[in-house]
Copies of this chain bind each other. A is one copy, B any other.
Amino acid sequence: MSTPRIRQPSMRDVARASGVSYQTVSRVINDQERVHPETRARVLAAVDALGYHPNSAARALVTGRGSTVAVVASNTSLYGYARTLEGIEDAAFAAGYTVNITVLRSPDQSDRADAVERLLSQPLAGLIAFTHDDLARSAVEDVPSRMPAVTVFGTGAGGRAHILLDEEGGARAAIRHLLDLGHRTIHHAGVPPLLPSGRLLGWRATLEEAGVPRPEPIPVTWEPRSGYEVGSAIARQHDITAVFAGNDDIATGIVRALIDSGRDVPGDVSVIGFDDTPLAAYTRPSLTTVSQDFVELGRRAFDLLHGLIEQDDQPAGPTVLPTHLVTRESTGPPRR
Contact = CB atoms under 8 A, between A and B. Distances in A.
B249 A54 contact: no
A286 B115 CA distance: 39
Contacts of A256: 282-284, 286
Contacts of A102: 89, 93, 98-99
A259 interface: yes
Contacts of A89: 76, 101-103
Given A56-B123, A252-B283, A255-B282, 19 more contacts: A7-B64, A56-B121, A56-B122, A58-B61, A68-B100, A68-B122, A76-B82, A76-B85, A76-B89, A77-B85, A89-B102, A89-B103, A90-B105, A99-B102, A224-B281, A225-B281, A228-B282, A252-B279, A259-B284
A223 interface: yes
Interface in A51-91: 53-58, 60-61, 64, 66, 68, 75-77, 79, 82-83, 85-86, 89-90
Interface residues of A, number: 58
Contact of A100 (B83, B100, B103, B121): B100
20 contacts: A7-B64, A53-B121, A54-B121, A55-B121, A56-B121, A57-B60, A61-B61, A68-B100, A76-B82, A76-B89, A77-B82, A77-B83, A77-B86, A89-B101, A90-B103, A90-B105, A98-B102, A100-B100, A255-B284, A256-B283
Interface string A250-262: 0011011001000
Given A98-B100, A256-B284, A122 B90 contact: no
What are the 9 A-B residue pairs with the smallest beta carbon separation, nearest first? A77-B82, A57-B123, A57-B60, A82-B82, A256-B282, A53-B121, A57-B57, A224-B282, A57-B61
A117 interface: yes
Contacts of A76: 82, 85-86, 89
